[in-house]
Amino acid sequence: MTELVSIERIAAGGDGVARLADGRVAFVPRSAPGDRAWVTIGRADKRFVRARIERLEAPGPGRVDPICPHYDRDQCGGCQLQHLEPAAQATARRGILADALERIARQPVDVPPIEAAPLQWEYRTKISLAVGPGAIGYHRLGQAGSIVSLERCWLAAKPVDGLWQRLRATRSHLPPQTRRVVCRLDRSGGEHLIVETGPGRPWQDARRLWNALVGANPLTIWWQPAEGAARAVAGASSSYPAAAFEQVHPAMGETVRAVAVAALGDLTGAVTWDLYAGVGDASALMLAGGARRVVSVERDRRAVEEAERRGPAEVERIAGQVERVIGSLPRADAVYLNPPRVGMAAAAVDGVRAAAPSRLVYVSCDPATLARDLGRFGAPTGSLARYRLVSARGFDLFPQTAHLETVAVLERA
C-alpha cells in the first residue's frame, strides 16, 4: 500500500513524521521536513505506522545529496541526517529537544538555537563496528541483524579511518569469535584497537595482528572477552583506559564542559559533586573555578585511575556506582551530572534530592532520558527537594546524526 504524504518534522531517532489520510502518524526514515513523497506502508499499529519512501514527489527545502555512498546505497544506520543540510539538521535537533522537554518532562523552556560544531565531518575519535559473517561495519537502518560492509566512515577522524583501513586489509588476523571492533585515539594521538569476542578460546596471537597494523603512531591492541574487562595484549605500553568513556568529538566536548561548569555559578568556597565523572575533566574545572572541595564518583575503576594520573590531586575520587555511594557523600552546594545515555537510576535522583544542593547541571546525550529524569527531579515526593528546569541548551556533538548533547540547568524550587 502506498500513499502520498507530506513530512512535517523530524522525530527523535531521525525519522520524518507525516500524517496519513486515516489520521495515523507515519514515521519515515531518510525523509526531510517539507518533502512530499509516495511512501510504502510497513509495520503498522493502531496509532502509527512505519513507512519508507518509494518515490520523492518534491524535496523539502533542506534536503541535500548525502556525501557517503553507504548512506543511500547500503542504508547504513550509522548516520540518520546526512540528507539534510547543517542548518536543517540543527533545526531538527532543536525540535527533538524541545519536544522531549515539553511532552516527557512537562517542564518546557525556550530552547535556543543549537550550537554548531566546527567540523561536520572527520570529527569522531572513536568508531565501534559490528562484526558478522563476511562484513564489518554499522548495522543497516532498521535491520539489527544485517551489517554494512564498511569501506570508509566519513565521520571518523583521519587517524581513526587510517587504523580502520589497515584493519580492513588484515581482518583475517582477528579471532574467529570477534563480535565487535573499536578504533579510537587517545589525547596524545595514540591509536587503540579493542577487539571484543564472544565465547571461545582465549586469543593468543594478537601480536600477529599488531605487526600487520602498526603504523606511524603508537598502537595498543586490547582484547575484551565475553566475560571480563578489556586488557592490553599487544603493542605500545599504555595506561590509557581504552574502554572508558570519553567524548568522541573532543573540541565540542570541551565546549560543553566549560559551559556546564560555568552554569553552576560562583563556586568559590563551595562543596561540589561530579557524578558519573569519567576521567575527571569536569572535576578539574570545578576546582579551578574556586570550589573548596570536589568529590567525584565514577563506576569505571580504570577511568578513576586515569583521572588520578592526570590530576589534580586535590579532587576526592570514589570508584563506585552513584546510587550506591551517594548517601555517604558530604553535603554539596552544587552538583554536576553527566550520566550515560540510559540516564540516572531512580535511587541516584533521590540521593541528589535528599542532599538538596541549590543548583544542578545535567549534561545529557539523550533528550528522552534527560526529560524523564527532569520529571523525577521535579516530582513532589515526601521531604525530598524539588527542582525546576531554568534553561536547556543543545550542542551539536554528533553532526549527521539525530543525537545531540544538552546542558540542562536546574534550581531548587
Q: Mind listing the pLDDT tens digit for each residue in 272-326? A: 999 999 999 999 999 999 999 999 999 999 999 999 998 899 999 999 999 999 9
Q: Which residue has the higher pLDDT, 138 or 237?
A: 138
Q: Where are the domains of the chain?
A: 1-62, 126-235, 250-412
Q: Give me the count of residues in the chain.
A: 413
**Which of 72-76, 125-129, 235-239 is the least confident region?**
235-239
DSSP letter assigned to residue 119: -
Average pLDDT over all residues of the chain: 95
The pTM for the full model equals 0.94
Confidence at 4, pLDDT banded by 50, 70, 90: very high
Q: Work out the end-to-end distance of the chain between its first and last CA atoms, rounded to an integer number of angstroms.
A: 52
Give Cα separations from 319 to 236, 297, 302, 309, 351 (angstroms): 26, 6, 9, 14, 17
Q: Is 282 exposed, middle or buried (0-12, 13-18, 19+ CB in 10 A)?
A: buried
- The CATH-assigned architecture of domain 1-62 is Beta Barrel (2.40)
Residue-wise pLDDT for 133-170, tens only, equals 999 999 999 898 899 999 999 999 999 999 999 999 99
Q: Please tell me the predicted confidence (pLDDT) of residue 108.
A: 84
Q: Which residue has the higher pLDDT, 311 or 409?
A: 409
Residue 8: enclosing H or E segment and its boundaries?
A: strand 2-10
Topology at the third CATH level for domain 126-235: OB fold (Dihydrolipoamide Acetyltransferase, E2P) (2.40.50)
Average pLDDT over residues 370-376: 97
Q: So what CATH class is 250-412?
A: alpha beta
Give Cα separations from 88 to 67, 83, 277, 396 (angstroms): 16, 10, 33, 12
Chain-centre distance of CA 32, in angstroms? Answer: 23
Q: Are 1-62 and 126-235 the same fold in CATH?
A: yes
Q: Please tell me the predicted confidence (pLDDT) of residue 240.
A: 81
| Contact criterion met (CB below 8 Å) for 232 and 222 | yes
